[in-house]
Amino acid sequence: MKDTVQNEQLHADQIEISYYTDPLCCWSWGFEPQWRRLQYEYGDNITIRNVMSGLIPSWKNFNDPTNSISRPQQMGPVWMEAAHSTGMFMNDKIWVKNPPASSFPACIAVKAAELQSKEAGEKLLRLLREAVMLRDENIAQQAVIVTVATFVAVANPGLLNLQQFEADLTGEAGLEAFRKDYNEAQNRNIIRFPTLILRSPGKPAIITTGYRPYPALVKIICEFAPDLKRTRKVTSIEQYMSHFGNITDREIKEVIETVTEANTVSNN
């Protein structure tokens, strides 16, 4: 990949990560423990850009020959495999009980929230993932999306204007924002998620696709940007949980060993 960083505000010891994902992607959900830890530890030295890539337009024209999926019921075993491999719980029964007809509505919702702020988009993305993965809620349905958005608005006063969000969700603004993301992913032939494109001033971008354990993820990033520094370490489970608010057992497990090591060092 030959394109280089356009954002000259980045310093040589910082990177921008374009994260190609979809609220319905099970492997992206499985990647959350590593992804959250990366953002926590490297903080201001990484800039994140979420790109909603549209995993399932509709079941009428969806076909995944790699995983032998052409109808909703076949998605369940893929979620079971992802849950087993990543340790993140995923309620695969939704693909039998109430399968989402498309992932596009949830993608549009994230972009509609993002029109108000990056933080609003990120919070809605996370809570849409939780809604479908943990509580088997059909996030292709507008009523479910609005309910999740309402929770974001109530829990974070001033962050998300619900009236504006619903207007953008059902109008042209949200659709156009998602269309740009979708076209970007298609033009780059990005069809597997999670996919990361790393950029830093003065060097060619690199791309990495698929689920990665944390050490492997950090190795890739540090080889790309050797001067990248951590801005903080995970030294307390309570502090880590407080930072994210809603957190899964697997996400806590991701950092327990680090906290134990830090406490051992401090006690010696």
Among 116, 122, 130, 128, smallest CA distance to 160 is for 116
Q: What is the pLDDT of residue 3?
A: 43
| pLDDT computed for residue 11 by the predictor | 65
Q: Among residues 205, 210, 216, 218, which one has the least CA distance to residue 190?
A: 210
pLDDT of residue 176: 98
β-sheet bridge partners, residue 222:
none
Which pLDDT score, from 0 to 100, does residue 67 have?
86
Question: Does pTM surpass 0.85?
Answer: yes
Q: What is the residue-wise DSSP string for 28-71?
A: HHHTHHHHHHHHHHHGGGEEEEEEE--S-S-TTS--BTTTTBSS
Structure confidence at residue 211 (pLDDT): 96
User: Which domains does the chain show, CATH number per domain?
Assistant: 15-232 (3.40.30.10), 235-268 (no CATH)
pLDDT by position in tens, the chain (length 268): 334 344 446 665 689 999 999 999 999 999 999 999 999 999 989 999 999 999 999 999 888 888 899 999 999 999 999 999 999 999 999 999 999 999 999 999 999 999 999 999 999 999 999 999 999 999 999 999 999 999 999 999 999 999 999 999 999 999 999 999 999 999 999 999 999 999 998 899 999 999 999 999 999 999 999 999 999 999 999 999 999 999 999 999 999 988 987 665 455 4
